[in-house]
């Protein structure tokens, strides 16, 4: 409700009377007043005049629960918003909530997790950390492809310099700018919840400068609202397509054209065998060509550029 009141105030330069807000939102004037009080405590400069009503002044958009709710309404997305100052991990949090679907955004994580048991550095101000918790009507056997949909949504949002490092890291040059940790809770045939966690580096990542980059290091401007608008609209449009096609046919060309590994010599991490990366299958597997021309498909794991 607070986000609806805020939206009304953002969209008018005039004073809005308490009774107008109340009737528009079908709540009492006392309830309006209570919500306004909380919005003021959150730092919004709302003038109140008993004769005229409420007016928002010196408004600056800031990332919080209310403004994310306004954005989601604009995008027509039905996700509950959890905006947290601090949390161990937004993915872990997403496993505990009962919502039908949600987005969890944290300003910092004290136990940020990466793929393959790694730590994801999550200091306040240096990155954006969020998780989508959804319950898609997709068979658990193919739901893994959603990680590559996430990578494409990230690539489109970060921009032309970003490349997809199979399966779902985002690189600029030879350094990582964003990563995805997808987790699944399911029964044999039914996805109970799909947890898609995303970390994006905004400013330099301490002690990791040889392997990680960020918006600021790349000279890119980061606007959280532009980012979320682009990421969420792209992600849910692609998820809708995927629900129909049940494969990545509609994305294969884009993924291949933006692949960090495309036609390069690679090793599977932990093995010395050499391959040339030849893109992905329509199921999202990596196509690896051995030196004798034999083709292998890789479903899960990690690749690195061939050591020289």
Residue 90 in contact with ligand BTN, rule: CB under 6 A:
yes
Give the one residue of 18, 144, 167, 179 binding ligand BTN; rule: CB under 6 A: 179
For CA atoms 97, 103, 105, 111, the dihedral sign is positive
**Sole window of 58-66, 155-163, 193-201, 225-233 interacting with ligand BTN (rule: CB under 6 A):** 193-201
In the list 18, 167, 199, 284, the residue contacting ligand BTN (rule: CB under 6 A) is 199
- Number of H helices and number of E strands within the chain? 8, 14
Q: Tell me: does residue 213 bind ligand BTN (CB under 6 A).
A: no
> In whole angstroms, how large is the CA radius of gyration of the chain?
22
Determine if 113 is a binding residue for ligand BTN (CB under 6 A).
Answer: yes
Contact flag: residue 89 with ligand BTN (CB under 6 A): yes
144 is a site residue for ligand BTN (CB under 6 A):
no
Q: How far is the CB of 123 from ligand BTN (least distance, A)?
A: 12
Indicate the residue among 36 and 164 with the shorter CB distance to ligand BTN. Answer: 164
CA-wise closest residue to 48 among 35, 62, 65, 66: 35
Asked if 167 is part of the footprint of ligand BTN (rule: CB under 6 A), the reply reads no
Q: Which is nearer to ligand BTN, 44 or 261 (CB)?
A: 261
Name the residue with the smallest CB distance to ligand BTN.
179
Task: Report the sign of the C-alpha dihedral through residues 236, 105, 191, 252, in that order.
Answer: positive
Rounded to the nearest whole angstrom, what is the least distance from the CB of residue 223 to ligand BTN in the complex? 19
Q: Give the separation between CA 167 and CA 150, rounded to whole angstroms.
A: 10
> In sequence order, which residues have a C-beta less than 8 Å from that of residue 110 and are 6 or more positions away?
86, 87, 88, 122
Query: CA-CA distance, 276 to 289, in Å (whole number)?
Result: 5
Q: Is 198 in the site for ligand BTN (CB under 6 A)?
A: yes
Nearest to ligand BTN of 109, 213 (CB atom): 109
Peptide bond into 19 cis (omega under 30): no
Question: What 3 state SS string does 133-174 have?
Answer: EECCCCCCCCHHHHHHHHHHHHHHHHCCCCEEECCCEEEECC
For ligand BTN, which residue of 2, 34, 65, 115 counts as binding (CB under 6 A)? 115
Nearer CB in complex with ligand BTN: 18/199: 199
How far, in Å, CA of 126 to CA of 122, rounded?
A: 7
- Can you give the binding site for ligand BTN, defined by CB under 6 A? 89-91, 109, 112-115, 118, 120, 129-131, 169, 179-181, 197-199
């Amino acid at each position: 409700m607070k986000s609806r009141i805020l939206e009304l105030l953002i969209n008018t330069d005039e004073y809005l009377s308490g009774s107008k807000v109340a009737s528009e939102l079908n709540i009492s004037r006392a309830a309006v007043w209570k919500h306004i009080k909380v919005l003021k405590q959150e730092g919004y400069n709302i003038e109140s005049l008993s004769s005229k009503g409420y007016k928002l002044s010196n408004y600056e958009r800031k990332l919080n629960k209310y403004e994310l709710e306004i954005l989601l309404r604009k995008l027509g997305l039905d996700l509950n918003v959890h905006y947290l100052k601090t949390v161990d991990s937004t993915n872990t949090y997403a496993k505990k909530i009962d919502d039908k679907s949600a987005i969890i955004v944290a300003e910092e994580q004290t136990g940020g997790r990466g793929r393959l048991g790694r730590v994801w550095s999550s200091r306040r101000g240096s990155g954006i950390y969020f998780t989508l918790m959804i319950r898609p009507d997709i068979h658990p056997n193919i739901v893994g492809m959603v990680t590559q949909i996430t990578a494409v949504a990230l690539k489109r949002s970060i921009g032309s310099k970003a490349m997809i490092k199979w399966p779902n890291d985002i690189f600029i040059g030879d350094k990582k700018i964003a990563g995805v940790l997808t987790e699944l809770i399911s029964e044999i045939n039914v996805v109970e919840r799909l947890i898609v966690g995303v970390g994006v580096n905004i400013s330099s990542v301490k002690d990791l400068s040889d392997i990680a980059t960020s918006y600021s290091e790349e000279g890119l401007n980061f606007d959280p609202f532009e980012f979320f608008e682009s990421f969420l609209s792209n992600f849910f449009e692609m998820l809708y397509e995927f629900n129909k096609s049940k494969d990545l046919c509609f994305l294969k060309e884009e993924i291949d054209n933006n692949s960090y590994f495309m036609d390069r010599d690679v090793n599977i991490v932990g093995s010395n065998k050499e391959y040339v990366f030849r893109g992905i299958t329509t199921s999202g597997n990596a196509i690896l060509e051995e030196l004798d021309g034999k083709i292998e498909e890789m479903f899960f794991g990690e690749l690195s550029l061939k050591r020289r």
